[in-house]
Amino acid sequence: MSLESMIKDMTKAGKEASRELRKVSRAGKDAALRLTAEKLMQREKAILQENEKDLALAKEQGMSSALLDRLALDAKTLQSMAEALGEVAALPDPVGEVTGMWKRPNGLQVGRVRIPLGVIGFIYESRPNVTVDAASLCLKAGNAVILKGGSEAIRSNLILGQILGEALKETGLPAAAIQVIPTTEREATRILLQQEQEVDVIIPRGGEGLIRFVTDHSRIPVLRHYKGVCHVYVDEFADLAMAAEICFNAKVQRPAVCNSMETMLVHERVAETFLPSMLKQFRDAGVEIRGCLKTLALMPEAKPAEPSDWPAEFLDLILAVRVVKGLDEALDHIETYSSNHTEAIVTNNYDRAQRFLEEVNSSVVLVNASTRFNDGNQLGLGAEIGINTSKLHAFGPMGLAELTTQKFIVYGSGQIRT
Amino acid sequence: MSLESMIKDMTKAGKEASRELRKVSRAGKDAALRLTAEKLMQREKAILQENEKDLALAKEQGMSSALLDRLALDAKTLQSMAEALGEVAALPDPVGEVTGMWKRPNGLQVGRVRIPLGVIGFIYESRPNVTVDAASLCLKAGNAVILKGGSEAIRSNLILGQILGEALKETGLPAAAIQVIPTTEREATRILLQQEQEVDVIIPRGGEGLIRFVTDHSRIPVLRHYKGVCHVYVDEFADLAMAAEICFNAKVQRPAVCNSMETMLVHERVAETFLPSMLKQFRDAGVEIRGCLKTLALMPEAKPAEPSDWPAEFLDLILAVRVVKGLDEALDHIETYSSNHTEAIVTNNYDRAQRFLEEVNSSVVLVNASTRFNDGNQLGLGAEIGINTSKLHAFGPMGLAELTTQKFIVYGSGQIRT
């Protein structure tokens, strides 16, 4: 069978499965998720064996130890995957929620009710635990999903997909509700991205290269963010101790993720008070500073910032620092360089806080809190399948509700249009 | 200047304007809409002169009288365009609406607030009044819009765009918030559809050919419906007098629109009672019937339905009729042939009504009401820019809220992630 007919068969089976899933109750979906969790524990040995094969090949091909870490599964990661499945099962079912209902002057009762999106194509890199995470969220929201993971994780993903399929079958759900594409060829992704008759949305998760490839080749709508160039602006009216805590957390706690701070903007009136100790704290934590001229005056050993540093997503212990004249200059800087992902202000001035919240056009805008809170779990969505910085459908972190759409239902009593 | 640099200049100006629009108050936007309404009345003579030129050229080129009707403006259409502007001005501003706010265990207060989408590309055919309608809705929701109308309406559209631009300028808003592409070349549309850096969404409105062209060539997300193949299912437990009124209204009141009925499904137990008088009523109204074998047995002079009639959008006084064994067969038929636009059931059986509402996967599903109610105004959205049958962003009629997205705002007090 050709690659193309294989992918087409999978998307058709996915569409069939999505029709069946529309009728499945919450109990049915939760049972499949809980059974998957049990199976992950029971099948630990087999899963780790397959993962071992992925790891051996990756080592042979010279994969870096950081990437090997991401690829590796062990008893503890399996345990936390199982726990995550239990958490998704415990979340309310978004499907069937009536988000509003009203009466028209002619007596029509009009409501909106959440329904699944249909079939989701999920394209990702490295971590095999994402396979189970993403599949569980798609299933809980009533969607069929077709998963294409990184080639280095193929054997791990396949056995996880097999276990998910068994749990579906044993709980009476269609096995094609969750399908892992069984090849490492990138051409498979390209073909998947053309199946707009069957697939309703594509969600890619990974580096900017993967995301660009997906958006460039997709005929299907894509929910994605390219990068997170997140800013914290320390205002002249900031509590400087709070500002230091927030900035340190935003940069250092997990520098390799999209919601970490990449550029710190500091009001010139507090630069001399705030920056020297802040920059020392960063230096002690191994953070490389790339500063504007005013920053360099306060920390001569810092590197001068290049123009390319302002729009950069370092994903590393590197920070661009700029001293600004005030809120307006900070807003201009953000307007120019922001990736519309996450921006924060630290201030105790009411008016500046409100202006920042209103004027910054990013998916998450915070006052006096770390950028690291741009996350579905942290913001209270219960879960997260990814973050979208295109403005359509969902802007920001996407939870279960964002994996649904809404149809209108109308209760009439014989109304016609005149 | 080349066509490409012209379109690029327009999309860049649109993006600049959309930044300014984010800060404009409701009063500012409404003032521009009301001034446009005044100007439409004051400039009647000039507008009708330009429209006359479009009409003269269209006649020369042999345009049908139905299409000439659509193209023609007169004092009355200008009056109703002005009234529609007043109605949009009277609608609440969707921008700034906080749709939810909640507190997290760590004290973070998280909310979602509506913001404009940004820049909208609106591509349409024929009717020049759509220029003003669409522009007013985009503006009210805080978006810049770039309009590309039908080539036959170019002079009418240009003078309307000029008047809109004057009203914007005179009320202190950026004139580039509303721009009409000043050429009839289709290549202009193709270039517009490539400007994904500046344009956030494309909304096409017109025949299936136009919509296919737009979706095939767009790099920007498209909100659209290809066609409306709408069904009414008359159940065995229907009030047959009500069913006759609803079916007649759904087919005959305005057959050329997307929410008119194209296929009528009738439960076999009521076919003999219901169909003869219903079909006679349709015949008297000039409706051509294309029936299944059981329908033909009751109305021998009807045409037999071809397989191509079931998925057809006739947009005319033509109706496909099929007698079905019951709700299951009706649901199967709809699942197979529906365009996910609008479907209705007529029944007094509670359980069948509920099953139909739950199982039909269309953007608007009705019980005991005409399919003609799939319309933003009729359903209470206040206005409508179009209907979307792709599931992303908005499913069904799109009003002002659907021309916005939502960002997260977070009020903190020094929270960091641990």
Report pLDDT for B376. 95
Beta bridge partners of A263: A231, A320
Cross-chain Cβ contact B368/A405 below 8 Å: no
**Alpha-carbon gap, residue A208 to A221, rounded angstroms:** 17
* CB-CB under 8 Å, B412 with A368: yes
B379–A409 CB contact, under 8 Å: no
Tens digit of pLDDT for each residue in A233-270? 999 999 999 999 999 999 999 999 999 999 999 999 99
**Chain B contact present for A90, CB below 8 A:** no
Asked if B62 reaches chain A (Cβ–Cβ under 8 Å), the answer is: no
A110 and B368 within 8 Å at the Cβ level: the answer is: no
Of A150, A138, A134, nearest in space to A183 by CA: A150
Asked whether A119 and A18 are in contact (CB, 8 A), the reply is: yes
Task: Using a CB–CB cutoff of 8 Å, tell me whether A98 touches chain B.
Answer: no
Mutate to test the interface with A, among B214, B334, B373 (most CBs of A within 10 A): B373
Write the single-letter amino acid at A164. Answer: L
CB nearest to A361's CB, from B22, B370, B414: B22
| Confidence grade of residue A126 (pLDDT, cut at 50, 70, 90) | confident
- Is the CB of residue B262 less than 8 Å from the CB of residue B319? yes
Alpha-carbon gap, residue A124 to A196, rounded angstroms = 19
Q: For B289, phi and psi rounded to 5 degrees?
A: -100, 130
pTM for the whole thing? 0.95
With contacts defined as CB-CB under 8 Å, which chain A residues touch B23?
Answer: 359
Quick check: B345 contacting A, CB < 8 Å?
no
Q: Which two tokens stand for residue A289?
A: 């500073």
Tell me which chain B residue has its CA closest to the CA of residue A415: B369
pLDDT tens digits for A45-64?
A: 999 999 999 999 999 999 99
Q: Are A396 and A105 in contact (CB under 8 A)?
A: no
Determine contact, residues A334/A359, Cβ cutoff 8 Å: no
Partners of B45 in the β-ladder: none
The span from the CA of A265 to the CA of A231, in Å, is 7
**Least CA distance to B21: which residue of chain A?**
A359
How far is the C-alpha of A119 from the C-alpha of A135, rounded, in Å?
Answer: 11
Which ipTM value was assigned to this complex? 0.95
Interchain pair B410, A364: CB under 8 A = yes
Q: Which of residues 150-189 of A touch B (CB under 8 A)?
A: none
**Crossing angle (nearest 10°) for helices A268-284 and A240-252:** 40
Nearest-by-Cβ selection for B416 from A110, A249, A367: A249
Q: Cα B3 vs. chain centroid, distance in angstroms?
A: 29
| A364 reaches B (C-beta below 8 A) | yes
Facing residue for A357 by CB, picked from B362, B395, B409: B409
Please give the C-alpha separations between residue B165 and each of B18, B89, B178, B329, in angstroms, as whole numbers. Answer: 14, 17, 7, 54
Q: Which residues of A are less than 8 Å from B380 in CB distance?
A: 102, 104, 110
The residues with which B386 forms a beta bridge, in sequence order, are B398
* Domains with residue ranges and CATH for chain B: 3-224+394-409 (3.40.605.10), 230-375 (3.40.309.10)
Nearest to B393 among A392, A413, A414 (CB): A392
Residue B126: the pLDDT is 72
The mean per-residue pLDDT over the stretch A327-355 comes to 97
Comparing CB atoms, the residue among A110, A363, A372 nearest residue B379 is A110
Return d(Cα A383, Cα A141) in angstroms, integer.
12
Q: What is the pLDDT along chain B (418 residues), one digit of tens a residue?
A: 799 999 999 999 999 999 999 999 999 999 999 999 999 999 999 999 999 999 999 999 999 988 899 999 999 999 999 999 999 999 999 999 999 999 999 999 999 999 999 999 999 997 899 999 999 999 999 999 999 999 999 999 999 999 999 999 999 999 999 999 999 999 999 999 999 999 999 999 998 999 999 999 998 999 999 999 999 999 999 999 999 999 999 999 999 999 999 999 999 999 999 999 999 999 999 999 999 999 999 999 999 999 999 999 999 999 999 999 999 999 999 999 999 999 999 999 999 999 999 999 999 999 999 999 999 999 999 989 999 999 999 999 999 999 999 999 999 999 999 9
CA distance to partner chain A, nearest, from residue B244 (Å): 10
Instruction: Give me A29's structure tokens.
Output: 């979906």
Identify the closest residue of chain B to A411 by CA–CA distance.
B367
CB A195 within 8 A of CB A7: yes
Minimum-distance CB partner of A242 among B239, B361, B414: B414
HEC-encoded secondary structure of chain B:
CCHHHHHHHHHHHHHHHHHHHCCCCHHHHHHHHHHHHHHHHHCHHHHHHHHHHHHHHHHHCCCCHHHHHHHCCCHHHHHHHHHHHHHHHHCCCCCCCEEEEEECCCCCEEEEEEEECCEEEEEECCCCHHHHHHHHHHHHCCCEEEEECCHHHHHHHHHHHHHHHHHHHHCCCCHHHEEECCCCCHHHHHHHCCCCCCCCEEEEECCHHHHHHHHHHCCCCECCCCCCCEEEEECCCCCHHHHHHHHHHHHHCCCCCCCCEEEEEEEHHHHHHHHHHHHHHHHHCCCEEEECHHHHHHCCCCEECCHHHCCCCCCCCEEEEEEECCHHHHHHHHHHHCCCCEEEEECCCHHHHHHHHHHCCCCEEEEEECHHHCCHHHHCCCCCCEEECCCCCCCEEECCHHHEEEEEEEEEEEECCC
- What is the structure's pLDDT at A66? 85
| The dihedral sign for the CA sequence B162, B165, B167, B169 | negative
Please tell me the distance in Å from B128's CA to the nearest CA on chain A. 25
**φ, ψ for residue A356, nearest 5 deg:** -60, -45
Indicate yes or no: CB of A392 within 8 angstroms of CB of B221.
Answer: yes
Residue with tokens 């008088």: B277
Q: Does A22 touch chain B (CB under 8 A)?
A: yes
Residue pair A347/A301 in contact by the 8 Å Cβ criterion: no
Identify whether the C-beta of residue A226 lies closer than 8 Å to the C-beta of residue A212. yes
Angle at B116 between CA B191 and CA A363, to 5 degrees: 100
Which of B350, B358, B408 to probe by mutation at the A interface, max A CB count within 10 Å? B408
| Two structure tokens written together for A166 | 């068994």
* Contact of B119 with B144, CB cutoff 8 Å: yes
Task: Please give the pLDDT value at position B335.
Answer: 95
Distance CA B402, CA B339 (A): 21
CA distance B67 to chain A (A): 24
Q: Kindly state whether A7 is in contact with chain B, defined as any CB-CB distance less than 8 angstroms.
A: no
Q: Is residue A242 within 8 angstroms of chain B, CB to CB?
A: yes
pLDDT (average), residues A111-115: 98
What are the chain A neighbours of B336 within 8 Å (beta carbons)?
none
B362 vs A contacts (CB less than 8 Å): 407
Tell which of B214, B253, B409 to mutate to test the A interface (max A CBs under 10 Å). Answer: B409
Tell me the nearest-neighbour CA distance from A104 into chain B, angstroms: 7
Report pLDDT digits (tens) over A274-290.
Answer: 999 999 999 999 999 99
- List the 264-323 stretch of A: residues with Cβ below 8 A of B: none
Question: Does B357 touch chain A if contact means CB atoms closer than 8 Å?
Answer: yes
Is B237 part of the contact surface with chain A (CB cutoff 8 Å)? Answer: no
* pLDDT classification of A173: cutoffs 50, 70, 90: very high
A391 has a chain B CB within 8 A of its CB? yes
B22 touches chain A (CB under 8 A): yes
Q: Which of A359, A363, A379 sits opposite B110 (nearest CB)?
A: A379
Q: Are B18 and B174 in contact (CB under 8 A)?
A: no
